[in-house]
């Protein structure tokens, strides 16, 4: 499997998110969520109608930073697994992306978001 580098792990502030544009030829961006040493990457697409989640560039979290929030509908997703706990897509979840971390760099499959 071919991987593409997204960023250095340290580029993602602890407790925050960072957005990434679609891969070449793709139409869905990605975003990373860092909580201490734990990093997750999700497709930047609400499972309800496929709109991007961020309400401003790199802004995916509720004001109290307890949930990922869809800018379009206000749907709330758990930080731990991307499960929708409130909103029109209740019970659905964000699409996770496999990651690899090597020498402090975050990698995802080359086709992630295609």
- HEC letters along the chain: CCEEEEEEHHHCCCCCEEEECCCCCCCCCEEEEEECCEEEEEECCCCCCCCCCCCECCECECCCCCEEECCCCCCEEECCCCEEEECCCCCCECCEECCEEECCEEEEECCCCC
Q: Which residue has the tokens 């991307």?
A: 82
Tell me which fold the domain 3-109 belongs to.
Rieske Iron-sulfur Protein (2.102.10)
Confidence of residue 24 (pLDDT cuts 50, 70, 90): confident
pLDDT digits (tens, 9 = 90+) for 55-68: 888 999 999 999 99
Domain ranges of the chain: 3-109
Kindly report the average pLDDT of the chain as a whole number.
94
Residue 98 Ramachandran class (φ > 0 left, ψ -120 to 50 alpha, else beta): beta
How far apart CA 6 and CA 2 sit, in angstroms, is 13
Confidence of residue 81 (pLDDT cuts 50, 70, 90): very high
């Amino acid at each position: 499997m071919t991987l593409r580098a997204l960023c250095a792990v340290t580029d993602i502030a602890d407790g925050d998110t960072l957005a990434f544009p679609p891969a070449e030829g793709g139409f869905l961006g990605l975003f990373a969520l860092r909580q201490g040493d734990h990093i997750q990457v999700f497709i930047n697409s609400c499972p309800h109608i496929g709109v991007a989640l961020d309400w401003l560039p790199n802004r995916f979290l509720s004001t109290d930073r307890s949930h990922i929030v869809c800018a379009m509908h206000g749907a709330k997703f758990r930080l731990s697994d991307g499960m929708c706990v409130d909103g029109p897509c209740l019970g659905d979840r964000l699409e996770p992306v496999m990651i690899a971390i090597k020498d402090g760099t975050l990698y995802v499959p080359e086709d992630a978001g295609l």
